[in-house]
Amino acid sequence: MTVLLDRPVAPVANASPKAKASPKARDPFIDLLRVAGMALIVFQHWTIPVLSYDGVRLTTGNALATPGVWVVTWLSQVMPLVFFAGGAANAISFGRSAQGAPRWLAARLRRLAWPLLPLAAVWIPLPHVLLTFGVPEQPLEVGARLTGQLLWFLAVYLIAILATPYALRLHERHGFLVPAALATGAVVTDVARFSTGFEAVGFLNVVFVWLAVHQLGFFYAEGRLRRPWALAAGGFGAAALLVAFGPYPGSMIGLPGAEISNMAPPTLAMLAVGAGQVGLAVLLRPWLMRLLRLRTEQRSPVRARPFDTEREPGAESGSLRDQRSPVRVRPLDAGRLLEWAGSRIMTVYLWHMPALFVVTGLVVVLLRIDTPAPGSAFWWAGWPLWFGLLCLVMWPLIKVFARFETPPALPYGAAGWGGMLAAATLVGGGVLTLTVGGFAPGGGPFLAVLALMGGLLMTAPRARA
């Protein structure tokens, strides 16, 4: 069985003539993966916390730690799909860029770093202000640290952005040997980690695992993932063997009390699940596209509204034809919906945890209502209210901070490779500082913001996407 992509996509930069296809503005499937992946991340982060407060300390748990539930994480842990979609998007974007790699990197850096500034502007003073109002210190520290820890994705994605121009050249010359070499690096890393007990070496897989999945996006951008069923079966099958006979836990997210995490740092098992997810997603692509079109057609009725008719050219006012002419309601456009959501992805990712902390502070800390046991009748009954409160808090945050998704152009000269690497180093250092220490009171967040601003100032003025 062979599944061919049903439409051409943009070629990668410097691709061979045989691999090139007709350029296109966007791929709706990639947009769908990005939006659906982010929605699932938010849904999971809002659903799995098990929270309790004893008057002094906020205790956090994980609903997915329930025995047997870990298998859900093989689909709900969608970070591999996010990196895969990022690889395809970077290949398409870089392939149609006519301004060179430094300016392309500048645009990517600014879109990544600019939305962090309002987050820092709120969270750096917020702990100090809330402490003066008597907010308990320990729950506040938990919220400040976890808000920063989720920025690990941006730090790793920055590595993928920097590697894209070089990775595309390797892709053109060596094809599938590149992800194969990265997978081999993941194997060697895990062997060294588990045989020596030196856990730090495992963080090499931050590069090997995530760049391997990112590299698969290049093949999709060229339309070369023609046997996704084999990728899905091989990936999930390899993951099952690794979990059954290897040192890897079954869960693809870190669980409280677990000695080993497949996520921090990522393991070979995570890479196998990622390959399975990519194969499954590409296999379902034609069906997903048809499903979107089907729902669009079903949601486009023609409604007649009195006193608000659509007058045809040449029709006289008050005529029977004028009075009976119905107003054609514009159908729901799935593409526009994806575009609307896609332009707010960073905002949702950065602010969905602060929304969780607001609701936690009000319900758990202030009202002393602990979350029920996962899966219990009270948990199922209270979940809609919990989720509704989170959405109610999240909506104004999106309205206020979504404008920072598009960075402004600043009056600074264009930089070459050296300047872009320096800017990326500053931005990466700032993001990494916030990832490690969060926004807890101290000098770390201030230094991180200074690094972010320095990196932004070094980017080119035409970096606005």
Q: What dihedral angle (degrees, nearest 10) is formed by the CA atoms of 120, 261, 196, 185?
A: -80
pTM of the model: 0.83
The string of DSSP letters for 177-229 reads HHHHHHHHHHHHHHHHHHHH--GGGGGGHHHHHHHHHHHHHHHHHTT----HH
Measured distance CA(30)–CA(38) in Å, rounded: 12
pLDDT of residue 11: 41
| Residues making up the chain, counted from first to last | 465
Which of 69-83, 91-105, 437-451 is least confident? 91-105
Residue 96, pLDDT above cutoff 90: no
pLDDT of residue 402: 92
pLDDT band, residue 333 (cuts 50/70/90):
low
Specify the 3-state DSSP secondary structure of 263.
Answer: strand
What tokens appear for 304 in the block? 């007649």
Tokens 């969270």 correspond to 123
pLDDT of residue 461: 59
Number of CB atoms found within 10 A of residue 118's CB? 16
199 Cβ contact partners less than 8 Å away, ≥ 6 residues apart: 193
Alpha helices in 222-267 (DSSP H): 228-245
Which of 203-207, 255-259, 308-312 is least confident? 308-312
Query: Do 331 and 296 touch, CB atoms closer than 8 A?
Result: yes
Instruction: Output phi, psi for 227, to 5 deg.
Output: -125, 65
| 389-420 confidence digits (pLDDT tens) | 999 999 999 999 999 988 876 555 556 778 88
- Closest by CA to 279, choosing from 220, 194, 349, 336, is 220
Query: Do 415 and 425 touch, CB atoms closer than 8 A?
Result: no
Integer angstrom CA distances of residue 406 from 90, 227, 330, 401? 17, 37, 28, 11
Query: Do 190 and 171 touch, CB atoms closer than 8 A?
Result: no
**Mean pLDDT, the chain, whole residue set:** 82
Residue ranges per structural domain of the chain: 28-299+334-457
Mean pLDDT of 126-132: 89
| 283-304 confidence digits (pLDDT tens) | 999 988 888 774 544 444 433 3
| 178-212 confidence digits (pLDDT tens) | 999 999 999 999 999 999 988 899 999 999 999 99
Measured distance CA(3)–CA(16) in Å, rounded: 23
Measured distance CA(86)–CA(300) in Å, rounded: 32
Query: Do 186 and 271 touch, CB atoms closer than 8 A?
Result: yes
